[in-house]
C-alpha cells in the first residue's frame, strides 16, 4: 500500500502533518509533499519519499493577489497527484486555486481519499474578506466544502464541535468522518512556577480585546511573556519576548509559567467559526507542559474541556473586572488546578496507543495492512449496499443492552462506540468489527478498547446491540458503517 500525503503549504515538520507521515510510514510506503522556500531535491529515507515543493509568496498585497501566486504550486501538486503511483491520497488542505481538482483526479483514478480538515474552511479561506464579498465567498465555499467531503472516503476533524457543525450544514455525505485532535508530542514534568502568563505561537493574532486585561494582570504582579512571535500588535503591552524555540525548549518554558493565555481574534468577526471551534496545538502543549490555561469563552471546543476537567479559567476578555477576578481566584486555588492537570495530562499527548488507533481508522476504511475488513458477505448471488448510522443515547444505564440497528439479512459492520460521562474518568471508547446472519448471537471478530474493557458489542437475533459497564447517566454515541447483503 502506498499513501500520497499532501502537506500543501505546511512546512516539513508541521506537528499535525508530520505526525501522520511518521505513523503511516510504519505500516505503508509514504510519498510526502511539503512546502519549502529553499532549493531542495526529492529524496528517500526509510519508508518515506520526501517531495519538497517551492513557493513564492509576496509579503505585501491583497489576499486575492497572494492567491494568484499559488497557481504554479497548485499546478505542480496536481501533476504529482495525477502521475504518482499510490493507493490512498491523504489531503491536509485543499489547493487554493483549484479546490476540487485533486479530489476529482484521485477519484477518476480509482484512489481512496482521506481529508484531514485542520480549519473551518468556508470561513478560513480568504478569511479577511468582509461585507457582501465575504458573505458570497462563504456561501461558495460551503458548496465546495460539501463536494470535497462527498468525494472523500474519510474526513478527519480537529474537534467534535466543528465536525457536528459541518455535518449539520452539509447534510448526508457518503464518506465516513471522525475526530482526531491536535495532541502534544510529549509531556513535561511539573516545574517550579513563575508568576508569569505566557502567550505562545508562530502566527501573530489580534489581541485588542485582551490588552486591558493583560495590563491589569501586570499591575497585579504577573509578568507577560511572548514566545515565538512579536509585532506592533503588542507594542503597547508590558512584555518580555522570546523568539521561536525548538519544541522541547518551548515546552520547558511553557512549563515554568503560571498560566498560558489562549484568547485572541484571527479576524475582525468575533463569530469566526475557525476560532470558535479551534483546538490549537498551543492548547494541548500547555496542558502537556503542566500549565493551566486561560481560554476565551467563545472558543467553545476549548472552553468545554477547561470547564469539564478543571484545567484553568474561562474568560470574557472584554469584561476585565470579572476575568481578572476569575484568574486571581484560580491562582489562589492553584494546587487544585495543577492536580486536575496531572490527572488528565496524558489525555492531551500523542502516544503509541493513539498512533495505533489512528492507523486502525485508516485500515478500517482502506485495508492498508492487516486489520479486519467487511467479511462474511458474498456478492455472487445478490446485491450489497453500504450505509452509515449514527445513534446517540442519553442517560445510559450501566450493564444494559441497547438496540442500535435491526437487520433482516446478513451484514458486516464496523462499530465505533463513545461513552461520555459527567465524570471524565469513566469515559470509554471502543471500535469493533462484527458480522453475521439474522438469528443467533454473534460476538465481534475484532475489538479494540484502549481505555478499559467496559463496552461490549454483539449481534442478537438480528439486532446490533451495545452496552457499557463503566458508570450510569452518561451519553453514548454509536457510529455504524455497515454492508447489508440482500
- β-sheet bridge partners, residue 178: 156
Q: What is the pLDDT of residues 249-273, one digit of tens each?
A: 999 999 999 999 998 765 565 666 6
Tell me, what's the pLDDT at 367?
53
For the chain, what is the total number of helices (H) and then of strands (E)? Answer: 15, 23
CB 260 within 8 A of CB 292: yes
Tell me, what's the pLDDT at 269?
59
- 33 φ/ψ sector (left φ>0, alpha ψ -120 to 50, else beta): beta
Asked which of 130-134, 187-191, 226-230 is least confident by mean pLDDT, the reply is 130-134
- pLDDT band for position 369 (50/70/90)? very low
Q: What is the mean pLDDT of residues 386-403?
A: 82
Tell me, what's the pLDDT at 380?
33
Query: In terms of residues, how long is the chain?
Result: 486
For the cut 50, the answer to whether the pLDDT of residue 332 exceeds it is yes
The DSSP bridge pattern shows strands 474-485 and 384-396 to be antiparallel
Q: How many C-beta atoms lie closer than 10 Å to residue 239's C-beta?
A: 16
Q: Which residue did the predictor score with more confidence, 445 or 378? A: 445
For the cut 80, the answer to whether the pLDDT of residue 196 exceeds it is yes
Backbone angles phi, psi at 459, to 5 degrees: -115, 120
Rounded to whole angstroms, the maximal C-alpha distance in the chain is 78
For the cut 70, the answer to whether the pLDDT of residue 159 exceeds it is yes
Q: Which residue did the predictor score with more confidence, 60 or 280? A: 280
Domains of the chain (ranges, CATH numbers):
2-179 (3.40.50.2000), 196-348 (3.40.50.2000), 372-485 (2.60.40)
The DSSP bridge pattern shows strands 29-36 and 2-11 to be parallel
For the cut 50, the answer to whether the pLDDT of residue 340 exceeds it is yes
- β-sheet bridge partners, residue 315: 296
CA–CA dist 146, 169 (Å, integer)? 9
For the cut 80, the answer to whether the pLDDT of residue 453 exceeds it is no
CB 99 within 8 A of CB 139: no
39-70 as b/e, with b when 16 or more CB fall inside 10 Å? eeeeeeeeebbbbbbeeeeeeeeeeeeeeeeb
Q: What is the pLDDT of residues 29-79, one digit of tens each?
A: 999 999 998 889 999 998 999 999 987 665 555 666 767 778 889 999 999
- Is the whole-model pTM more than 0.85? no
Express as a percent the part of the chain with pLDDT over 70. 81
The candidate with the shortest Cα–Cα distance to 295, out of 269, 325, 272, 262, is 262
Tell me, what's the pLDDT at 376?
35
Winning range, highest mean pLDDT, from 122-126, 364-368, 429-433, 478-482: 429-433
Asked which of 8-12, 52-56, 371-375 is least confident by mean pLDDT, the reply is 371-375
Asked which of 193-207, 305-319, 465-479 is least confident by mean pLDDT, the reply is 193-207
Tell me, what's the pLDDT at 208?
76
CB 189 within 8 A of CB 180: no
CB 260 within 8 A of CB 228: no
For the cut 80, the answer to whether the pLDDT of residue 218 exceeds it is yes
Tell me, what's the pLDDT at 384?
45
Alpha-carbon Rg of the chain, whole angstroms? 24
The C-alpha angle 304, 352, 312, rounded to 5 degrees, equals: 25
CA–CA dist 285, 205 (Å, integer)? 18
Q: Which residue did the predictor score with more confidence, 339 or 244? A: 339
For the cut 90, the answer to whether the pLDDT of residue 373 exceeds it is no
Q: What is the mean pLDDT of residues 387-415?
A: 80
The candidate with the shortest Cα–Cα distance to 210, out of 197, 193, 221, 196, is 197
Asked which of 101-110, 229-238, 268-277, 303-312 is least confident by mean pLDDT, the reply is 268-277
Winning range, highest mean pLDDT, from 24-28, 125-129, 230-234: 24-28
Amino acid at each position: 500500500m502506498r499513501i500520497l500525503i499532501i502537506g500543501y503549504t505546511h512546512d516539513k515538520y508541521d506537528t499535525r502533518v508530520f505526525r501522520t507521515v511518521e505513523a503511516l510510514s510504519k505500516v505503508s510506503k509514504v510519498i510526502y509533499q511539503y512546502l519549502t522556500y529553499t532549493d531542495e531535491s526529492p529524496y528517500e529515507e526509510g519508508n518515506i519519499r520526501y517531495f519538497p515543493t517551492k513557493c513564492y509568496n509576496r509579503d505585501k498585497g491583497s489576499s486575492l493577489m497572494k492567491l494568484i501566486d499559488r497557481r504554479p504550486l497548485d499546478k505542480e501538486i496536481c501533476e504529482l497527484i495525477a502521475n504518482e503511483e499510490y493507493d490512498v491520497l491523504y489531503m491536509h488542505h485543499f489547493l487554493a486555486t483549484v479546490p476540487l481538482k485533486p479530489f476529482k483526479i484521485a477519484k477518476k483514478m480509482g484512489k481512496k481519499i482521506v481529508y484531514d480538515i485542520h480549519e473551518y474552511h468556508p470561513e478560513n479561506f480568504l478569511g479577511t474578506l468582509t461585507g457582501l464579498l465575504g458573505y458570497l465567498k462563504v456561501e461558495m465555499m460551503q458548496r465546495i466544502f460539501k463536494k470535497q467531503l462527498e468525494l472523500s472516503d474519510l474526513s478527519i476533524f480537529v474537534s467534535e464541535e466543528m465536525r457536528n457543525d459541518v455535518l449539520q450544514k452539509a447534510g448526508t455525505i457518503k464518506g465516513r468522518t471522525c475526530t482526531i485532535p491536535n495532541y502534544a508530542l510529549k509531556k513535561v514534568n511539573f516545574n517550579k512556577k513563575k508568576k508569569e502568563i505566557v502567550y505562545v505561537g508562530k502566527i501573530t493574532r489580534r489581541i485588542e480585546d485582551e490588552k486591558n486585561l493583560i495590563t491589569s494582570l501586570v499591575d497585579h504582579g504577573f509578568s507577560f511573556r511572548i514566545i515565538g512571535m512579536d509585532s506592533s500588535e503588542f507594542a503597547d503591552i508590558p512584555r518580555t519576548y522570546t523568539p521561536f524555540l525548538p519544541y522541547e525548549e518551548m515546552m520547558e518554558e511553557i512549563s515554568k509559567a503560571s498560566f498560558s493565555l489562549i484568547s485572541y481574534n484571527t479576524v475582525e468577526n468575533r463569530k469566526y467559526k475557525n476560532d470558535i471551534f479551534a483546538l490549537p496545538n498551543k492548547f494541548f502543549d500547555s496542558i502537556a507542559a503542566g500549565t493551566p490555561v486561560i481560554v476565551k469563552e467563545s472558543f467553545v471546543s476549548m472552553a468545554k474541556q477547561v470547564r469539564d476537567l478543571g484545567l484553568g479559567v474561562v474568560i470574557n476578555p472584554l469584561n476585565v473586572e470579572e476575568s481578572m477576578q476569575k484568574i486571581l481566584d484560580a491562582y489562589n486555588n492553584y494546587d487544585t488546578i495543577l492536580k486536575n492537570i496531572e490527572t488528565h495530562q496524558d489525555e492531551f499527548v500523542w502516544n503509541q496507543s493513539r498512533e495505533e488507533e489512528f492507523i486502525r481508522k485508516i485500515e478500517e476504511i482502506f485495508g492498508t495492512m492487516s486489520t479486519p475488513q467487511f467479511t462474511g458477505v458474498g456478492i455472487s448471488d445478490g446485491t450489497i449496499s453500504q450505509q452509515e448510522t449514527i445513534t446517540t443515547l442519553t442517560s445510559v444505564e450501566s450493564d444494559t443492552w441497547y438496540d442500535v440497528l435491526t437487520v433482516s439479512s446478513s451484514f458486516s459492520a464496523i462499530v465505533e462506540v463513545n461513552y461520555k460521562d459527567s465524570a471524565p474518568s469513566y469515559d470509554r471508547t471502543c471500535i469493533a468489527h462484527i458480522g453475521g446472519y439474522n438469528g443467533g448471537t454473534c460476538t465481534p471478530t475484532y475489538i479494540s478498547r484502549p481505555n478499559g474493557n467496559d463496552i461490549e458489542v454483539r449481534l442478537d437475533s438480528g439486532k446490533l446491540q451495545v452496552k457499557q459497564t463503566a458508570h450510569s447517566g452518561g451519553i453514548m454515541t454509536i457510529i455504524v458503517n455497515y454492508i447489508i447483503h440482500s
